Chains A and B, each alone.
Chain A
Amino acid sequence: MASNSRKYYKLYVVIAVILMVFALLIIAPYIWMMLTSFKSTREVLYNPGKVMPIKWTLSGYLTVLTKSPFFSWFKNSVIVSVTVTAAVIFTSTITGYVFSKYRFKGKNFLFWLVLSTMMVPSQITMIPRFLIINQVGLYNSLQALIIPAIVSGFGIYLCRQFCDEIPDSLCEAAKLDGAGDFRIYASIILPQLRPCIAALAIFTFLDIWNDYLNPLIMLSTLKSMTLPLALTYFSDAHSTDISAVMAASALIMLPVTILLLCFQKQFIKGVAISGMK
């Protein structure tokens, strides 16, 4: 549709302006959050008409960093997200490879089983999963969030689709040259799966980093919490300290938002890839 750009120049400007207005609506909550986080709570409450801080202050951030175990929360979030992402990439690629390139009994049934795990809403499985985690003594530990997330039905499905596009002859040739099964996976399949792995990594990381419901069920003590869960506890406990609540929100939102701005291309491609398959 990009033809005739000169003829439609005016129209393009109008469209750009309309989009700018919508973009501003999207950004506004972020700006309000940032500005509020630099005000004192007194100022927020008694000078609500003023958008810009009259006096810039870091007191909100200081409250978050000194009156809460913020660094433990951050560390917990990093540990869980990084471990799960690495594990999911490994289990998904190797299982996708096996489903794509090997023949074995019960393959269709097992793959159907993988797919069916994607279709069941977490509300059905969450109660028994809590009981199981409790039973094996993992309640209130980070393992309670990590271990059930190691295998991803969606990841296996996505990787299989991508493996199907790698020609079988490539694997057969490597086999004739004496490469073992794991060797073929590591040196032939993995490099070919790069775009798929990038998409899967982004999604898994975001999913786990932002997850709220699982930590809410599985964690109970303040120090063991991950950031999203901790934020609600913090905002309930400090509900009158608005600037501190906004500072905490900013500290939680900004890392992922910066990640998006740095890797925009991969993010956008990742969404498109996973949606189209």
Chain B
Amino acid sequence: MKNNRFVYFVLLPIFLLLAVFFVLPIAGGLAISFFDYNPLRAINHFIGFENFGKLMSDKIFLKSTTNTLVFVGITVTLNIFITLVLAQLISMLPWPKFRSFFRVIFFMPCVAPLIASSVVWGGLYATKYGLINNMLKTFFGISPVNWLGTASYVMPAIIIFTLWADIGYNIILFSAGMDGIPTDFYEAAEIDGAGMVKKFFYITLPLLGRTVSFVVAMTIISHFQMFAQFQVLAKLGGPENSGNVLTYYIYKTAFQTKDMGYASAIAVVLFVLIMIVTIIQQRLNRVEWGY
């Protein structure tokens, strides 16, 4: 249809908002990274690539980048493995009531504010009164561990929390994908004598290919941007910056140190990391799957 008046009438305010709150900030974010920008100062100098050069010798930045990559790598791998197995187990159950019961239970942490869950888990991890230390003491006689105050335990603690908080989405996405696979495939495989494991690897997984590649990419992208649990569980970056990640470092540099130019340069690095994932995912998705 054509009606330019109506089209303009709708799109004008929409794109005005997009321009002010998305397009301008994207351009602004890139631009500020070339300035020594502090909002409290009257004059802010253009310094070219100096912020980016500084990154290379910034120990906290390098540590945060490594932490981010370790966090994303381990959490996403475990997440995908656990969610595939759980989704498969759920969809094998012949009782629909049970299937939806389990999906809802696993989804519960996804609706709770991440920050509130983090605060509760801060209590679970507490050295003296936390449930986890109590369980370990009762069942294994292990003396209390200071989970969030020990450099080598902070990241594992946050990874376990994040798995708890975030597996629900992927279980549902994989379940939806699995429900879409025609049952004839499984029946045919059964006649050929294929067992559970073979059916999973030769039918479910290949036919789920596109869903898996999409879910993996989305999970990676969202995990790169996680913030709340790091602020709560790794207070101020954790001991020896063991829990410092890019998002937290960006926030701290921009809004506490007020060094917004430098913070924008770190954000650009994060942006590039995320772009790489997006591009790889789109390449992979060009392969057409069908059934």
Interface residues of A (CB under 8 A from B): 1-3, 5, 8, 12, 15-16, 18-19, 22-23, 25-30, 32-33, 36, 44-45, 48-49, 51, 91, 94-95, 98, 101-104, 110, 113-114, 117, 119-132, 134, 147-148, 150-151, 153, 156, 168, 171-172, 175, 181-182, 206, 209-210, 212-213, 216-217, 227-229, 231-232, 235, 242, 245-246, 249, 252-253, 256-257, 259-261, 264-265, 267-268, 271-272, 275-276
* CA of A216 to CA of B186, assembled, Å: 50
Q: Residue of A at shortest CB range from B121?
A: A29
Cross-interface CB contact of B11 among A30, A32, A110, cutoff 8 Å:
A110
Query: Given A104-B7, A172-B1, A217-B255, are A232 and B115 also a contact pair (CB < 8 Å)?
Result: yes
A261 touches B124 (CB 8 A): no
Q: Residue of B at shortest CB range from A211?
A: B113
**Stretch in B25-33, B52-60, B71-79, B147-155 touching the partner:** B25-33
B108 touches A268 (CB 8 A): no
CB of A128 to closest CB in B, whole Å = 3
* CA of A127 to CA of B251, assembled, Å: 9
CB of A3 to closest CB in B, whole Å = 7
Query: Given A127-B264, A257-B112, are A121 and B270 also a contact pair (CB < 8 Å)?
Result: yes
Answer yes or no: B21 CB below 8 A from chain A CBs.
Answer: yes
* CA of A8 to CA of B190, assembled, Å: 13
B271 touches A124 (CB 8 A): yes
B267 touches A33 (CB 8 A): no
B108 touches A26 (CB 8 A): yes
Answer yes or no: B50 CB below 8 A from chain A CBs.
Answer: no
Can you list 18 A-B pairs, Cβ within 8 angstroms, ordered by A?
A: A1-B186, A12-B92, A19-B89, A26-B106, A27-B108, A48-B128, A95-B11, A95-B14, A101-B1, A104-B7, A110-B11, A113-B23, A119-B274, A121-B225, A132-B24, A217-B251, A242-B129, A275-B214
Chain A residues with CB under 8 A of B112? 210, 252-253, 256-257
B123 touches A36 (CB 8 A): yes
Chain B residues with CB under 8 A of A103? 1-2
Cross-interface CB contact of B172 among A18, A206, A213, A268, cutoff 8 Å:
A268
**Stretch in B227-235, B236-244, B283-291 touching the partner:** B227-235
Contact with A along B109-136 (1 / 0, CB 8 A): 1011111110111111010111100100
Chain B residues with CB under 8 A of A132? 20-21, 24-25, 28
Chain A residues with CB under 8 A of B214? 275
Answer yes or no: B257 CB below 8 A from chain A CBs.
Answer: no
Answer yes or no: B158 CB below 8 A from chain A CBs.
Answer: no
CB of B7 to closest CB in A, whole Å = 5
Give the total of B residues in contact with A, Cβ under 8 Å: 102
Cross-interface CB contact of A19 among B90, B113, B183, B221, cutoff 8 Å:
B90
Q: Residue of B at shortest CB range from A4?
A: B190
Answer yes or no: B80 CB below 8 A from chain A CBs.
Answer: no
Chain A residues with CB under 8 A of B246? 123
The residue among B22, B86, B100 with the most chain A CB atoms within 10 A of its own CB is: B22
Answer yes or no: B70 CB below 8 A from chain A CBs.
Answer: no
B172 touches A272 (CB 8 A): yes
CB of A271 to closest CB in B, whole Å = 5
Answer yes or no: B93 CB below 8 A from chain A CBs.
Answer: yes
Contact with A along B195-221 (1 / 0, CB 8 A): 000010000000000010011001001
A131 touches B29 (CB 8 A): no
B108 touches A231 (CB 8 A): no
B129 touches A45 (CB 8 A): yes
Query: Given A95-B11, A151-B18, A275-B215, are A181 and B29 also a contact pair (CB < 8 Å)?
Result: no
Chain B residues with CB under 8 A of A91? 14
* CA of A32 to CA of B121, assembled, Å: 10
Cross-interface CB contact of A121 among B1, B6, B137, B224, cutoff 8 Å:
B224
Contact with A along B253-265 (1 / 0, CB 8 A): 0110000100110
A18-B89, A102-B3 given. 4 additional CB < 8 A pairs?
A: A113-B23, A127-B267, A227-B113, A271-B169
B123 touches A206 (CB 8 A): no
A16 touches B271 (CB 8 A): no
* CA of A271 to CA of B34, assembled, Å: 40
Answer yes or no: B94 CB below 8 A from chain A CBs.
Answer: yes
Chain A residues with CB under 8 A of B215? 275
Chain A residues with CB under 8 A of B1? 101-103, 168, 171-172, 175, 181
* CA of A171 to CA of B225, assembled, Å: 41
CB of A74 to closest CB in B, whole Å = 13
Cross-interface CB contact of B114 among A16, A156, A210, A265, cutoff 8 Å:
A210
Cross-interface CB contact of A275 among B89, B90, B94, B173, cutoff 8 Å:
B173
